[in-house]
Amino acid sequence: MSAIENVSRRGFLKGVVSTGAFVLCARLYPEALWAADSLPLDSRVEGAPLHPSIFLGIETDGTVYIVAHRSEMGTGIRTSLPLVVADEMDADWKRVKIEQAIGDERYGNQDTDGSHSIRDFYDVMREVGATARVMLIQAAAQQWGVSPSECTADPVHAVVHRATGRRATYGDLATAAAKLPVPKKEDLQFKPKSGWRYVGKGTPSYDLDAICTGRAEYGMDAHVDGMLYASIEHPPVLGGKVKSYDDKGPLAVHGVRQVIPIDPFQGPPASQPLGGVAVVGDNTWAVFQGRKKLNVVWENGANESYSSDEFKKELRKSSRTAGKVVRNSGDVEAAFSKGGKVIEADYYVPLLAHASMEPPVAVADFKDGRVTAWAPTQDPQAVQETIAKVMGIPKDNVICHVTLLGGAFGRKSMADYVAEAAVLSKKTGRPVKVVWSREDDIKFDYYNAVAAIYMKAALGPDGKPSAWLQRSAFTPIPSTFAPNVEYGSEGELGMGSTDVPFDIANLRVENGPATAHVRIGWLRSVSNIFHGFAVQSFADELAAAAGRDRVEYLLELIGPARILNLAEFGYPNYGGAPDKYPVDTGRLRHVLELAAEKSDWAKRSRSKGKGSGLGVAVHRSFLTYVATVVEVEVSSGGEVRIPRVDTVVDAGLVVNPEMTRAQFEGAAVFGTSIVRSGEITATKGVVDQGNFDDYPVARINEAPYKTNVHIVDSSAPPAGVGEPGVPPFLAAFCNAIFAATGKRVRDLPLSKTSLSA
């Protein structure tokens, strides 16, 4: 529910625009709250540069301010949503200035994850833009004494009277438009697709120049006068506590001022600080050095029992034992007992770390019971909530400014590191910047779940499966937030498990229990990573067993074009309404067929010989349909090159194709890292890896040489693009390795499998 209001005369955007400017707000928060809000549109946040729910301001000099309320971590969302506004209002993009919103529930949801920013806000951004255009035209028509229908905003940033050629710029019209009532939504006319200036075209990032000249400001660059720096020694085992430490050593380091213990978290970790000992001082280097001299003695607690090797066996056992049935049709057991060709396979995907280039970092300033924070966060409202909870202050007393994010991939929707800065600011009485080292980042992440997946199928005489069983056991995300959670949530199971799109009469999906001993969180495409990998690898195994062409076989598995009704299995469909975002196997088939065509599959998959091969996979996630063909070359020494990737994407309406392409190029590299070397392990509860030497990510010479991204032209509602490129890449890559070498990769990462001839 949203409503747009003209708030030009209420002094909002003060300090950004002058009096006389035209300012529109859109209320995105639940209607029920409107009445409860005594000063509905005033900020509760004193001194905040922006007032929540303002999205648009037009200055009398024609500068257009558009507020970005979602976080920019590289997907281009800070550009793309304002672009929708600018397009619909016929603004000149060069005259648009973007203001980043602070955290406030009146902006509606600001949690920038789950690939849903465009999908959730496309309509309202259009509405804001169209409202502004209609009002500017009205203002001009009034001045000229003509009907608005005789005027147009076609020339960009100005209104023209068609008959007389009279012209007024948006700047000229701002003050007059500011006095007009807002038109009803029903009276708005949206531009036809043919009239779009920016949407669907390639517009580069608003921050491109700043980034390339080093001026862009990330969380790592946030600075407040008088701030101290802090580095924290966290308990090496989750839930551990400090027994003793030495503060003399650190205090002897030049530039170190204080050594401060931080309380361990209570109950499930959620986004609370991990606890430990902080070293505070004048610069990052001093506090890093001081930390080395702390000599903390820890009481590790129960998670000390956790070691990855043992755990893998348990997980495997869980995936091999009858589990909780989450989807069932027909009778798989009866079909299996009939015999025929029965095929089984076990897959495994370890814990994965995010390793965004910018490690967690935040600045916070605690004063008089209020906190102001500057953070590279995916979710500034979660920062407010977390700090409020940890410090025992009202949420409204927390202001969170959002910087650019140096990558995030899901890690930075958790606010633990921002809360640490707030706690330390209170204890020191100064603003504090908490800087995580790379080792802190890798050792204390919210990891993607470790998973074992068991697959079983019986092939009929035609080579098609008559029965299909898939059972995954993985450390569930809810275990981070509540005690004793062992089974996956509907959301996690709805990522490649309950939504397996195959046309098989007897089909059962199960989930086995698993207990987490580290914090589990969201990582780019989440449980689609291991489910997608297992399902699409297994499909390839069945095709191999049946001696069939992979694309044809996959098309048969998917079956005819139809809408799948998965509601009865609790399938959440990424929060998308089933009528607006149905599970459409026709679109799934289409991307696959197109991928075969674009990659010249028929010819190239056959002509490949020893040491080189093509693999394919197709997967729907975040409401987007993706098919990927990967070409690999494997040397006799077992070294793998990826000369070419072809990805076909049907994400419905694509606002920014240029950035969408970049997201899928990036997803192929992200997937390459997962397959080649992505593995976090623990010994006695302590994570073994710490930096890019033992947690390598793909470098330029290891990444795909060329990823071709083909975007399906679609007018279906917009869907996600940040995450869906990852899952199909993983299986397509490993299927290609099989095609090239005959070696099946079931355990990730690849470094565990010898590929030398």
Partner 1 sequence: MIDLKVNGVARSFDGDSNMPLLWYLRDVLALTGTKFGCGEALCGACTVHKNGEAIRSCVAAMRTVGGAEITTIEGISHDGLHPVQKAWIDANVPQCGYCQAGQIMQAVAFLKSKKNPTDDDIDGAMAGNICRCGTYQRIRAAIKAAAGEQS
Q: Which residues of this chain interact with ligand FES, rule CB under 6 A?
A: 74, 357, 407
| Distance in Å, CB of 438 to ligand FES, minimum | 8
* Encoded tokens for 3: 């409503």
Distance of CA 121 to the CA centre of its chain: 16
For residue 582, whether the previous peptide bond is cis, meaning omega lies within 30 degrees of 0, is: no
Closer residue to ligand FES (CB): 357 or 561? 357
* Partner interacting with residue 205 (select from partner 1, ligand FES, none; CB below 5-8 Å by kind): partner 1
| Distance in Å, CB of 91 to partner 1, minimum | 21
| Distance in Å, CB of 521 to ligand FES, minimum | 19
CA separation (Å) from 738 to 120, 456, 633, 707, 750? 40, 19, 11, 20, 12
**Amino acid, single-letter form, for residue 144:** W
* Encoded tokens for 307: 């070691």
* Partner interacting with residue 162 (select from ligand FES, partner 1, none; CB below 5-8 Å by kind): none
Q: Read out DSSP for 1-21?
A: --EEEE-GGGTTTBTTB-TT-
The side-by-side arrangement of strands in the sheet containing 432-435 is: 256-262, 276-281, 228-233, 432-435, 361-367, 370-375, 398-402
Burial class (CB in 10 A: 0-12, 13-18, 19+), 285: middle
| Distance in Å, CB of 222 to partner 1, minimum | 9
Closer residue to partner 1 (CB): 96 or 558? 96
Closer residue to partner 1 (CB): 175 or 691? 691
* Partner interacting with residue 658 (select from ligand FES, partner 1, none; CB below 5-8 Å by kind): partner 1
Using alpha carbons only, what angle is made at residue 560 by residues 556 and 562, rounded to the nearest 5 degrees? 140
Helices (H) and strands (E) in the chain, counts: 19, 30
Q: Which residue is nearest to ligand FES (CB)?
A: 357
Closer residue to partner 1 (CB): 90 or 665? 665
| Distance in Å, CB of 475 to partner 1, minimum | 23
Residues in the chain: 757
Closer residue to partner 1 (CB): 122 or 670? 670
- Residue whose token pair is 């987490």: 516
Closer residue to partner 1 (CB): 190 or 705? 705
* Partner interacting with residue 204 (select from partner 1, ligand FES, none; CB below 5-8 Å by kind): partner 1
* Partner interacting with residue 93 (select from partner 1, ligand FES, none; CB below 5-8 Å by kind): none
The whole-angstrom separation of Cα 641 and Cα 633 is 5
* Partner interacting with residue 572 (select from partner 1, ligand FES, none; CB below 5-8 Å by kind): none
The whole-angstrom separation of Cα 439 and Cα 280 is 18
Closer residue to partner 1 (CB): 189 or 701? 701
* Partner interacting with residue 246 (select from partner 1, ligand FES, none; CB below 5-8 Å by kind): none
| Distance in Å, CB of 255 to partner 1, minimum | 7
Closer residue to ligand FES (CB): 268 or 407? 407
Closer residue to ligand FES (CB): 207 or 299? 207
* Partner interacting with residue 532 (select from partner 1, ligand FES, none; CB below 5-8 Å by kind): none
Task: Using alpha carbons, select from 303, 356, 243, 298 the residue that is nearest to residue 682.
Answer: 303
Q: Read out DSSP for 517-562?
A: SS-B---TTTTHHHHHHHHHHHHHHHHHHHT--HHHHHHHHH-SS-
Q: Interface residues with partner 1 (CB under 8 A)?
A: 72-76, 202, 204-205, 207-209, 211-218, 220-221, 223, 229, 254-255, 282-286, 288, 355-359, 404-409, 435, 437-438, 658, 662-663, 665-670, 672, 691-693, 697-701, 703-707
The whole-angstrom separation of Cα 663 and Cα 726 is 10
| Distance in Å, CB of 658 to partner 1, minimum | 6
* Partner interacting with residue 273 (select from ligand FES, partner 1, none; CB below 5-8 Å by kind): none
| Distance in Å, CB of 285 to ligand FES, minimum | 12
| Distance in Å, CB of 115 to ligand FES, minimum | 17
Closer residue to ligand FES (CB): 425 or 672? 672
CA separation (Å) from 365 to 250, 361, 392, 400, 416? 24, 14, 15, 11, 16
* Encoded tokens for 330: 């027909």
Backbone dihedral angles phi then psi of residue 545, each to the nearest 5 degrees: -65, -35
| Distance in Å, CB of 656 to partner 1, minimum | 11
Closer residue to ligand FES (CB): 45 or 659? 659
* Partner interacting with residue 460 (select from partner 1, ligand FES, none; CB below 5-8 Å by kind): none
**3-class SS shares of the chain: helix, strand, coil, % to 5:** 35, 25, 45
Closer residue to ligand FES (CB): 407 or 572? 407
Q: Read out DSSP for 113-168?
A: -TT-HHHHHHHHHHHHHHHHHHHHHHHHHHHHTS-GGGEE-TTSSEEEETTT--EE
| Distance in Å, CB of 414 to ligand FES, minimum | 19
Residue 487: DSSP 8-state: S
| Distance in Å, CB of 656 to ligand FES, minimum | 16
